[in-house]
Structure 1
Amino acid sequence: MKPKAQIFLLVVVMTAVWSTVIYLFFFEETQGSNSVPIFAHTHPVKTVMADQEKSYSQSLTLAAVGDILIHSTVYNAAKTNGTYDFMPMFTGVKDILTNADLTFANQESIIGGSEIGVSTYPRFNSPYEIASTLQDVGVDIVSMANNHTLDRGFDAIKNAIDFYNSIGMKYVGSYDSQEDANTPRILVRNGIRVGFLAYTYGTNGLIIPKEHPYAVNLIDSELITSDIQKLRDLADIVVVSMHWGNEYMRLPNTNQQQLAKSIIMSGADIIIGHHPHVLQPMEWIERDDNSQGLVVYSLGNFISGQMRDYKDIGGIVEIDIVKTIHSNRQSTVTIAKPRFTPTYNHTFNNTKFYIEPLTSSNDVHYPNYDEIMHHMFQSIDGK
């Protein structure tokens, strides 16, 4: 064979091989009808592969925020020319959320859409536009498991899930079929598989429809343990979202603490809490093997119509996760001490809202930064 022909053939073969490798490596499996894990490969891999005989590491930053609770004052402030524009409310925190590799939020009010009528407390229904805005500011996955999930019935849940699927937003804790409920929620960033679970203490007395038992996950210790163990085999990190605790209480109750210990001992790595609508501290929980899991008892309100008495204070927790593949091909995962950015839900006469990071304790217009930081780290500093 002539040299030019040999070179041409080699180029063709190598192109085919690399095309196959790239396709397999970056293939994103979207949610379908079969019960296989949901993967979302949207970031380039940061793996350091200098030598197969040496260790290498992969890392990601997970960010999480608390309650997205759209009261009438909030959606009325966003109403513009027959639609809703929530983006101005989030511009102050967009950079923090988009800089994380993976961002989680608690979508507390169901997004059933305007066609069934938006509504406020006590039975919420929010416009679709809030989901699009969250996605635009960096949110990758939302919890739908909370006490307002059933506010507008299963039709609102179905509308919300249909919309999340249409924009490619991942969700957890509420489902439109048993098949959907059986599908593990796993998102992959930088080669690290992060699995999500979500549960709520209740649904404000509303009964889960018998024909839709998968409509929302209720807190059940045995169920949570079983779900964690199943997900543990598929994920490097397991994150559990818990809608729990007492509203407006700044410290976790005994039930939260006991549940947190049980969840971490069952194999979860991180717990993200919400429902109190105020911030509650973070804490390490140590397992019998001296490894630790992290619990954030409550991230407070991120955006809502609730004001004063700490209800307008939320925050963004950022957690660095490192997966090390050792030379013997065994892997270990470590969680660094979290970072926390307090946020203030600022409003002008309930006609404009925007979320602002708290970065200074010297600004008299905002709550005390130092006090908030001490509150969040009081159980974690020095560990």
Structure 2
Amino acid sequence: MKRATATFGLLMLLASGCQSEVEATAKDVLFLEGMKQQERMERSVDSNRFQLTATICAVGDILIHDRVYDDARVEGGFDFSPMFDNVAPYLQAADVTIANQETMIGGEALGLSGYPAFNSPFEVGDALKEAGVNVVTLANNHTLDRGPQSILNALDYWDELNMTYTGAFRNKEDAKDLRIIESQGISIAILSYTYGTNGIPVPNGRDYLVNFAEASFMAEQIREADKEADAVLVALHAGEEYVDFPNQQQRDLVQLAADSGATAVIGHHPHVLQPIEWVEGKHDHDMLVVYSLGNFLSGQYDHPRRVGGIFTFDLQKLTGKKAQAINPSLMPTYVQFDEGDHNYQVTPMKDLTDYDLPDVEKHLDDVEAHMSQWLPELTVTRE
């Protein structure tokens, strides 16, 4: 039927003469132009709705005590990879995975050491990269433990591994180089700051060695990063050790970050978990914050210091807008080791049995209640 109608229309057009043909052609042109305009409008609408998403994963302190690196000793060096085998699939699943490398990997030549002045093997970096970590934050209270050479050795090794580092730098130019990584079409700036360095002074003229959490300095850098990138992630090393809730210093610095345009703050230093919440900044800007992710891998013995977490969220970006953090979730982890400080492993708490950790379900209940008390929509992975 449609074919017959089209044929009839064509015969009528041929019979109508030159004038009708011109009029028909003009109408066709107008019709086609109208269709093109409609298509352009539809593309514009679709463009405004276009959505980019990148998954971010963050873990807490990598705190390499001497008993941890002793357990990693193998012939000719160290192998920390088995310690991350149980969590590597989750770290590798994210687009960007960030770890707080609290101890400098200055290498054996400087002499390895644990608490109170840490210096760790280079091979820690190899294990983190293999496990899926691609960004390390370095500004913390132990950055200057073994002096500038330990920092420089560590930075050289992170460069060898082609891993992004921030928070400690080799010179002024390095410190001015804003760390922006691209993932899934989203540009992400990553900054790192510490409240202090255990009283160890920065050598004269070498302030670039570590970023301090000074309000004006932080605000300026975060605002600059906000201009340059779609999202700004801030690693903040602050708070009181072994305390379950943020102190006023943490809250003040977190509010400063929100007001300056940060997308999320990832907290470290207390060595125990502290809750997650949204913080409203200026201009109705909601920022995601976890005040402390605890220890991810350490040689600390007390139960709360063995509990950490894999914190995951999505960065969602609409065309023409800044990225926002959405879908926060936490997978609680636990540092296992055998008697005599052997076989250190980081394991998702959901995979533990009562033999591994008596009353493991109650411990999961406690973590979920603690971490979600200010963020009821937080997903805590238990299966």
Secondary structure at the aligned position of 1:285 is classed as strand
Alpha-carbon separation, structure 2, partners of 1:97 and 1:70: 19
Q: Which residue of 2 aligns with 1:93?
A: 87
The partner residue of 1:354 within 345, 352, 361 is 345
Q: Residue 296 of structure 1: CA displacement?
A: 0.6
Q: Which residue of 2 aligns with 1:374?
A: 369
Q: After TM superposition, list the pairs within 5 Å mapping 1:104-123 onto structure 2.
A: 104-123=98-117
Alpha-carbon separation, structure 2, partners of 1:378 and 1:363: 26
Alpha-carbon separation, structure 1, partners of 2:364 and 2:351: 6
Q: Residue 332 of structure 1: CA displacement?
A: 4.2
Q: Which residue of 2 aligns with 1:217?
A: 211
Listed as ranges, the gaps of 5+ residues in structure 1 are: 1-49
Range with bigger deviation, 347-356 or 253-262: 253-262
Mapped pair 1:339 → 2:320? no
Secondary structure at the aligned position of 2:313 is classed as strand
Relative to structure 1, the CA distance from residue 361 to residue 291 in structure 2 (aligned partners, 3 Å threshold; closer, same or farther) is farther
In 1, are the aligned partners of 2:258 and 2:282 still within 8 Å (CA)?
Answer: no
Alpha-carbon separation, structure 1, partners of 2:79 and 2:325: 36
Q: Which residue of 2 aligns with 1:310?
A: 304
Mapped pair 1:299 → 2:293? yes
Q: Residue 337 of structure 1: CA displacement?
A: 3.0
Secondary structure at the aligned position of 1:284 is classed as strand
Alpha-carbon separation, structure 2, partners of 1:161 and 1:259: 27
Alpha-carbon separation, structure 1, partners of 2:99 and 2:368: 20
Deviations 1:284-341 (A, max 9, x none): 001343331011100000000001240000110001111111xxxx224232130100
Q: Which residue of 1 aligns with 2:265?
A: 271
Q: Which residue of 2 aligns with 1:82?
A: 76
What letter matches 1:116 in structure 2? Answer: L
Looking at CA atoms only, which structure, 1 or 2, has the larger radius of gyration?
2
Alpha-carbon separation, structure 1, partners of 2:278 and 2:355: 33
Identity %: 41
Root mean square deviation, CA, Å = 1.6
Q: Which residue of 1 aligns with 2:46?
A: 54
Secondary structure at the aligned position of 1:371 is classed as helix
When normalised by structure 2's length, the TM-score is 0.83
Q: Which residue of 1 aligns with 2:145?
A: 151
Q: Which residue of 1 aligns with 2:354?
A: 363
Q: Which residue of 2 aligns with 1:11?
A: none
Q: Residue 136 of structure 1: CA displacement?
A: 0.8
Q: Which residue of 1 aligns with 2:248?
A: 254
Alpha-carbon separation, structure 2, partners of 1:336 and 1:211: 41
Relative to structure 1, the CA distance from residue 234 to residue 75 in structure 2 (aligned partners, 3 Å threshold; closer, same or farther) is same
In 2, are the aligned partners of 1:66 and 1:274 still within 8 Å (CA)?
Answer: yes
The partner residue of 2:133 within 135, 139, 151 is 139
Deviations 1:246-305 (A, max 9, x none): 000011112211221121111111001000001101110013433310111000000000
Alpha-carbon separation, structure 1, partners of 2:280 and 2:193: 22
Q: Which residue of 2 aligns with 1:201?
A: 195
The partner residue of 1:323 within 314, 317, 320 is 317
How many residue pairs end up in the alignment?
330
